[in-house]
Structure 1
């Protein structure tokens, strides 16, 4: 910092610099700030007080500040990217497992279940609902299979007996006709069907050979 007192043309240049109209070559030092204040009468100053200060420390602080701002910005962007990736995996991993379980269930693997651990609460509730649905579907399909097997067994026994009877009828029709003909003659018009009577006669003759 320096103070200069000048008269004559120098004082005029300092006055013009203070008023902002123009500056002399000595009023703008390189790498610094300069302030001039006229001394004496404003119209005819007898001198001027000039203050000069270097801006190098200020420029250095500004550069350091901008460097820190840039570093903090880059670090914030990197942290945001890492957090975004972690959140995407945290949400997407349970959904991927749920999608895989749904595909396996659709392919017929009734015991397939989705993992309920991990992820946000909404995804965990969705996985639990899917598991409940899969368990009910498995129970319904197993119950349907049991009913079909039972009905098949119930139908198989009469059909087998009917097939055996048809085989017997095809094997010995004449003998059956001869054994049933006398009984048919003795039955009235309101009696059961003739073939039913013949079959019963045949069965009774088998159970009682000496009859």
Structure 2
């Protein structure tokens, strides 16, 4: 099995183009990105435990440290972190086959499923034409796309609006689209954030995790 090898962005804006019709779906674990480094350099291992992502731990996250030069690697090893041009990169692995988390998120297949999830949720949202400032919800799914939990991360300040957002998620579940995805993609969609509201609300949540 081979994993995807394309560069990624961490956020996708979905829905209609009107101010009342925007919402954002981003992974709760999307990385913040960083300065580009020479991809030909050999990554240096970071001594951190593997983070289990699937129920059976077959899919997991590890980290590698990339440095721009051997001198930068030495600086980092000696504790001069500020002057070392190094960046820690997250990798998603299936057994021993790994790709960067950012690569996976930018794949056409991953984003096609994101679009499907977002489109159905938006159409099931009764408040989609509201101009309210918006709410943000964390959604937790099983690996089969069944809804496990929906939690308000940022309230709109209006209980009815928040309830409509939660109801849209419940009506849209289960998200069985993720069943068809490769394991490394599927686990990244078991925790997602949905932002409901206008453009201003959407823009305010793009950098949050």
Structure 1 or 2, whichever has the larger Rg, is 1
Identify the structure with bigger relative contact order (alpha carbons < 8 Å, sequence gap 6+).
2
Q: Which has the higher helix share?
A: 1
TM interval, shorter chain, is: under 0.3
Q: TM-score, normalised by structure 2?
A: 0.16
